[in-house]
Amino acid sequence: MASWVGMRATATPFQVDAVARAIRSTPIIDHHAHPLLKLDALSKQPLLALTTEANGEAIHSATTSLPHLRAVRQLAAALGCGYTWESVVAAIEDKRLDCPEDWTAECLSGIETILIDDGLDSEDDANAYPWHDDYTRSRCKHIVRIEKVAADILRRIGRECNESARTGDVFDDAFDEWTDEFDSYIVNALDDTDLAGFKSVVCYRTGLDITNEPSEVQETRAREDFKEIIANFALLDFKKLQTKSLNDLVVHRTAQIIQASPSRHKKPIQFHTGLGDNDLALAKSSPSHLQDFIRMYPTVPIVLLHAGYPFTRETGYLASVYENVYADIGEVFPCVSQDGQERILREILELCPWSKILWSTDGHWFPETYLLAVTQMREVFETVLCDYVRKGHIGWRAAVDLVRDVLFKNANKLYHLELDFSELEEETILAQGAYQSDADVLRAFLKNQPAPDFVRICWNDFTASQRMRMVPFRKFTSLLNEGKPTDIGITSAVFGLIQNDWMVPTASATGEYRLHPDFSSLKKGPIEGHISMNGEFRQRSGARVPLCPRSILQRAVEFGAENNLSFLIGFEIEFLLVERAEPKPGNTTRYYSTLTTDGHAWSVSRYFANPKISALLRDMVSTLEDMGIYVEQLHAESATGQFELILPPYPPVQAADTLLHTRDVMSALATAAGFKLTLHPKPFAHACGTASHMHMSLSSSPGGSDDKPETYHALYAGILKHLRAILAFTYANPASYERSSDGTWSGGRWVTWGTQNREAALRKIEGSHWELKCMDGLANPYLAIAAVLNAGVKGVVDREVLVWGDCEMDPAKLTANDRKELGVSQMLPGSVEEGLAALREDGELSELMGPELVEKYVALKEFEVKVLGEMGEEERRQWLMERY
């Protein structure tokens, strides 16, 4: 195989996921932030300041800004409250009353340490920087705001001069005292191990156009201005250093002392640049004003804060051409819209090496500022960097390095923190094989076996029709070897077609998606000479297609991971073997009939004496085992020719992939043996229906226990809360409702659950292991699992209460009082139309699945129902059996 193994053309979804995992799991050194307010001072500052630098009356307009609206959604999700600002404010106030420490810990989760500038005006109301140690893994350190130090010294000297009525030349002594004391402070700070660096807000005071005149000229002007301040001190309400000559002198003296220090590890100066409140002179806030200053101090590390926004490109340029300059991209999270943040990240990466980029929260006053900054950073980093990886602009390994450098390693090195970066996540990714190229994966997969004839790239559409494209193996490997993409163009009408390729009237044949094969899903088969992979649809830009069912499930899994939840999913494949017959006179539709058997019944052994059936079932199990799919059980079901094959549990996406591949294998083997395998939910009115029961359990949960009732009860409460809408995905065809009935072990017609109750829609088996019975083989498994996971995870986030009691009998036989006591008040939809209506009405689940997906899915299903409704009952049954 070595002859064709060459460069990887595109990153696999699994490799892109490795980048996303790095973004979500890399510990953060927050190198620029401010202290949180003491609990009794929180009400002194407006909560609207979370996403804006506006103050006074101007702050109220923030409610109509994109950053504010985004923050409301994100805070509401974290707080488990309504999606309005009023609900968010109320929920935050509840947190402050009930569990402020826990909420603060949640907001600061993922932050390794904070370098804290505590020079804000609310000094007396703020917690000291060591207080924050309780919420970070490593001790926090201090950043000195040099203008505040200078102002404090000047204020003391001014008072002393005023009290002693100094005059004349004594003012010169006062100036020398001021500069000497300031210099001494900076010198001592260089040796203070708790002090990580310095911060200048000269941008706010007199602008970044710092004078670069000779030092004697600067000092002469500063001395005169200082004397004037002292002489008039009694008349001044002195609070801040607002005189240009003094501000410029303070910055220069700090840089001179740092440059003159003998230490190889010089402490940086941070400069506020760009974005700020209305005290700032915007025209003088561009970091480009600092260029001459930067040249004067080539050994002094200089950090340009806040991406210089809106002068982001200037920031990136300066960091790229001067060795001592670094670009911070904090505060724009969360003060700029999502599109703006993405543009800022792209602009800073246009020119600036990522080894010169640092990230910070600029968190201040409220813990929610930290939460929003981290949440939005991860979202934007994932969008931009994963897009770069998919396009091939950067390798995925390099993207992982970029994330770790920007979030941790660059700050660790620049500020000489000497913190250890945990390699645990990297080892995990390596163990999962994410560091393999597509060619490596394929070569390992085909080791010691003959090359196949074809490579299949498969997808499952909205009608649960399994579709695929085949590429001759020689062509596929030549694409890999030549470094060309292995994705395939597919019409964007792909999610507007029903089973016979009729197109929904609202769909269009224009446009194209790219179907990207996921090499981690490689399997032999389903027939000899073929290998198969599942694909995900992407835009040409590499962005996810919001209609792609597999991507939607990936997103649901990520939603769970964000809330420390992961899952195992297992399926029972019920299937019916039928015989093909010649079409009836005057009918071109193929006709299927039941097998002729000797007393077929549930779990009977006699049926396996039939050599033809026995050989087929044996071949199914052995063929699947050869593909690495190990069947757990196999038995006869109740209907004639009906059987059930049980798959092992897998993570959700793998579970859906495996289910679809297994069905393809079984169908191919049945056809080769002279049978037709059907998944029709109710192929014969007199016989038991055919389902696709889904088993689900937590593989992890908060606190590390898989079986914490408070977690899985909230999970399943969320599922029951949204179950009527979920049925739009799990009972997706009119035939599904022919099976749905009471008293037939099909899960019944009621929204409820019960321990080992097969008449309940949700059967509790043990601990967090439950079974969803209202699903069949005509459901797209990606969408079905995604709907269930989204509803369940939202239940955990919202701490839903399991108001339904444990139903121990057929819910259809409950009395009215019984139902009231058990909280059984709703029936499941009785038709596709009713299920789709329930989905439309469930705004929460629709938002989780994606409004565009729900709109397109409902439209297609309504069209499908219309087409099927125009058929006769027998024609419709045979038509569906032919396709499923």
Domains of the chain in start order, with CATH, are 2-7+438-545 (3.10.20.70), 28-421 (3.20.20.140), 555-883 (3.30.590.10)
DSSP assignment of 674-704, as one string? T-EEE--SSSSTTS------EEEEEEE-TTS
**Under DSSP, is residue 28 helix (H, G, I), strand (E, B) or coil?**
strand
Residues 574-594: pLDDT tens digits? 888 888 776 666 666 567 777
167 vs 733: CA distance, rounded Å = 95
In the chain, what's the furthest Cα-to-Cα distance? Answer: 121
pLDDT of 709 reads: 84
Whole-number average pLDDT of the chain: 86
Lowest-confidence range among 197-201, 365-369, 481-485, 878-882? 481-485
SS3 content of the chain, % helix, strand, coil (to 5): 50, 15, 35
The answer to whether the CB of 531 falls within 8 A of the CB of 537 is no
Say which residue, 599 or 58, is predicted with more confidence: 58
Instruction: Note the pLDDT of residue 858.
Output: 93
pLDDT in tens, 714-737: 998 999 999 999 999 999 999 888
pLDDT in the model for residue 585: 66
How many whole angstroms separate alpha carbon 707 and alpha carbon 651? Answer: 17
Least confident of 165-169, 319-323, 379-383, 818-822: 165-169
Per-residue CA distances from 852 to 76, 403, 858, 864 (Å): 22, 31, 10, 18
Report d(CA 811, CA 744) in Å as an integer: 12
* pLDDT (0 to 100) of residue 448: 77
Predicted pLDDT of residue 169: 60
Q: Which residue has the higher pLDDT, 254 or 235?
A: 254
pLDDT greater than 90 at residue 630: no
Q: How many CB atoms lie within 10 A of CB 34?
A: 22
Q: What angle do CA 79, 81, 84 make, to 5 degrees?
A: 115
Confidence at 701, pLDDT banded by 50, 70, 90: very low
What are the pLDDT digits (tens) for 514-562?
898 888 888 898 988 899 999 989 887 677 888 999 999 988 988 888 8
pLDDT band at residue 257 under the 50/70/90 scheme: very high
Q: Are 790 and 556 in contact (CB under 8 A)?
A: yes
Q: What is the pLDDT of residue 607?
A: 65
pLDDT at 358 over 60: yes
Name the band, by pLDDT with cuts 50, 70 and 90, for residue 253: very high
Paired with 579 in beta bridges are: 593
In terms of DSSP H, where are the helices of 310-337?
A: 312-321, 332-335
Decide: helix, strand or coil at residue 754: strand
What is the 3-class SS of 529-585, one letter each residue? CEEEEEEEEECCCCCECCCCHHHHHHHHHHHHHHCCCEEEEEEEEEEEEEEEECCCC
Mean pLDDT comparison of 36-40, 45-49, 290-294, 739-743, highest-scoring range? 290-294
Mark residue 765 as left, alpha or beta (left: phi above 0; alpha: psi -120 to 50; beta: remaining).
Answer: alpha
**How many angstroms separate the CA atoms of 338 and 67, rounded?**
7
Q: By the 8 A CB rule, do 37 and 367 touch?
A: no
Q: Mean pLDDT across the stretch 812-831?
A: 84
Q: How many residues does the chain have?
A: 884
Q: What is the DSSP letter of 483?
A: T
- The predicted model gives 859-884 an average pLDDT of 87
Q: Which helix (H) or strand (E) holds 709?
A: helix 709-721
pTM for the predicted model, two decimal places: 0.58
Q: What is the pLDDT of residue 820?
A: 86
- Is residue 432's pLDDT more than 60? no
High-pLDDT (> 70) share of the chain, %: 91
